[in-house]
Amino acid sequence: MNTRHHDPFKAAFDSLEEFVDLISQVLNCPITIEDANHRLLAYSTHDERTDPARIYTIIGRRVPEKVINQLWKEGTIPALLKTREPIRVKNMDEIGLHNRVAISIWKQDEVLGFIWAIEIDKILTEKDFDLLKLAADSAKNKLLQLQTRKNKKEEHSQEFFWKLLTGHLKGEEEIYERFHTLKITPSASFAIAVFQFPENITNKVEQNISYLLKTGQLMKILLYTIDCNQLIILISADNIKEPYQEFNRFVQTFVLTMNERYAIKGITPVYSSIYKDYQSIGQAYQETLRVLTIKEKFPLETEDIFNYHKLGIYQLFELILEKRQSEAYENDSLKKLQEYDQKHHSNLVETLEVFLNKDNNINDAAKELNVHANTLNYRLKRISEIGDVNFKDPNQKMLLYLDLKLEKYK
Give the 3-state DSSP-derived string for the chain, with helices as H, strands as E and coil as C: CCCCCCCCCCCCCCCHHHHHHHHHHHHCCCEEEEECCCEEEEECCCCCCCCHHHHHHHHHCECCHHHHHHHHHCCHHHHHCCCCCCEEECCEHHHCECCEEEEEEEECCEEEEEEEEECCCCCCCHHHHHHHHHHHHHHHHHHHHHHHHHHHHHHHHHHHHHHHHCCCCCCHHHHHHHHHHCCCCCCCCEEEEEEECCCCCCHHHHHHHHHHHHHCCCCCEEEEEEECCEEEEEEECCCCCCHHHHHHHHHHHHHHHHHHHHCCCCCEEEECCCECCHHHHHHHHHHHHHHHHHHHHCCCCCCCCCEHHHCHHHHHHHHHHHHHHHHCCCCHHHHHHHHHHHHHCCCHHHHHHHHHHCCCCHHHHHHHHCCCHHHHHHHHHHHHHHHCCCCCCHHHHHHHHHHHHHHHHC
pLDDT confidence of residue 5: 56
pLDDT confidence of residue 317: 78
pLDDT confidence of residue 3: 45
Tens-digit pLDDT profile for the chain (410 aa)?
Answer: 444 557 888 877 778 889 999 999 999 999 999 998 898 999 998 667 788 888 888 888 889 888 998 999 899 999 999 999 999 998 898 888 889 999 999 988 889 999 999 998 889 999 999 999 999 999 988 888 887 777 777 778 888 999 899 888 778 889 999 999 988 999 999 999 999 999 999 989 998 999 999 888 789 999 999 999 999 999 999 989 899 999 999 999 999 999 999 999 999 999 999 999 999 999 999 999 999 988 988 888 888 899 988 888 888 877 887 787 777 778 888 989 999 999 999 999 999 989 998 888 999 999 989 999 999 999 999 999 998 989 888 888 888 888 888 887 77
Instruction: Work out the angle between the directed axes of helices 243-262 and 203-215 (0-180°, nearest 10).
Output: 130
pTM: 0.73
pLDDT confidence of residue 4: 53
Could you tell me the CA-to-CA distances from 395 to 4, 199, 333, 388, 400 in Å, in that order? Answer: 85, 42, 13, 14, 9
pLDDT confidence of residue 2: 47
